[in-house]
Amino acid sequence: MLDIPKIERFTQMTQVDPQNDLGFLSLGKALMDGDEFRQAIPPLMTAIKLNPALSAAYLLLGEAQRKVGDPEGAVLTLQKGYRVAQEKGDLMPRNRMASLLQELGSNPPEEKAVELTPELIAAGNIKCRRCGRVGPKMKERPFSGALGEEIHESVCNPCFQLWIRQGTKVINELRLNLTEVNAQEVYDGHMKEFLGIK
Ligand SMILES: [Zn+2]
């Protein structure tokens, strides 16, 4: 469904502040939700121009290009976006772009996979279970207990920092009071899911 008031609001936002990458992204998304794929393309391209690290914009743009019958354009966009998402550790858009690329008969760009060798482990490296990259361990265990230990052994610092931000959102949006056992369990559940811990 085309949400006209929403589209007007985001259009106005981009007119007031032409540097607002998220405004252009939201406008493109609202147009896509209304199946206006052709119209969605220019604002999404602008969002990427303003912020080339905005992985969600590549995903939407690739989808829009596919819908309007431009598979070559879609593949180019998605390959670029895949690299951006990989670099930032944005797992969800990265995986969705990979499957879109496969549907388009293409493959995600080759990654130079670094394997975790005994030498790298001895030098204090881990392979992160969220982003899959090999990198240095966090300096300290992020919190006490078995879960803190497990995270220290298997999650990189950039991914844990992303979780801190996400965790704050979880607390606010679900109105969790972490002094309650129940709330702590909900919080831990979200953390495990975010970090890819079973
Ligand atoms: Zn990571």
- The answer to whether residues 46 and 24 touch, using CB atoms and an 8 Å cutoff, is yes
Taking only the tens place, the pLDDT of each residue in 51-73 is 999 999 999 999 999 999 999 99
Of all residues in the chain, the percent with pLDDT exceeding 70 is 98
Distance 134 CA to ligand 1 centre (A): 8
The pLDDT assigned to 111 comes to 65
For 155-178, how does the pLDDT look when each residue is reduced to its tens digit (9 = 90+)? 998 889 989 989 999 999 999 999
The rounded Å distance from CA 155 to ligand 1 centre is 6
C-alpha pair distances (Å), 43 with each of 7, 68, 123, 149: 11, 15, 46, 44
Which long-range contacts does 121-127 make (Cβ < 8 Å, 24+ apart)? 126/153, 126/154, 126/155, 126/156, 127/154
- Say how many Å lie between the CA of residue 56 and the centre of ligand 1: 18
Ligand 1 centre to CA of 132 (Å) is: 6
Average pLDDT over residues 24-45: 97
Tell me: pLDDT of 33 over 70: yes
Mean pLDDT across the stretch 9-21? Answer: 96
pLDDT at 110: 74
Q: List, by residue range, all CATH 1.25.40.10 domains of the chain.
A: 4-103
Distance 55 CA to ligand 1 centre (A): 16
Give me ligand 1 centre to Cα 38, in Å.
Answer: 36
pLDDT averaged over every residue in the chain: 93
- For residue 84, how far is its CA from the centre of ligand 1 (angstroms)? 15
Model pLDDT, residue 187? 96
**Distance of CA 157 from the midpoint of ligand 1 (Å):** 7
Q: How many whole angstroms separate alpha carbon 150 and alpha carbon 173?
A: 26
d(C-alpha 13, C-alpha 4), whole Å: 14
Fold of the domain built from segment(s) 118-195: YggX-like (1.10.3880)
Question: What distance in angstroms lies between residue 174's CA and the mean position of ligand 1's atoms?
Answer: 25
> pLDDT tens digits for 182-194?
999 999 999 999 9
Residue 27 scores a pLDDT above 80: yes
Q: Which CATH class is domain 4-103?
A: mainly alpha
**Cα 130 to ligand 1 centre (Å):** 5
User: 136 CA to middle of ligand 1, Å?
Assistant: 10
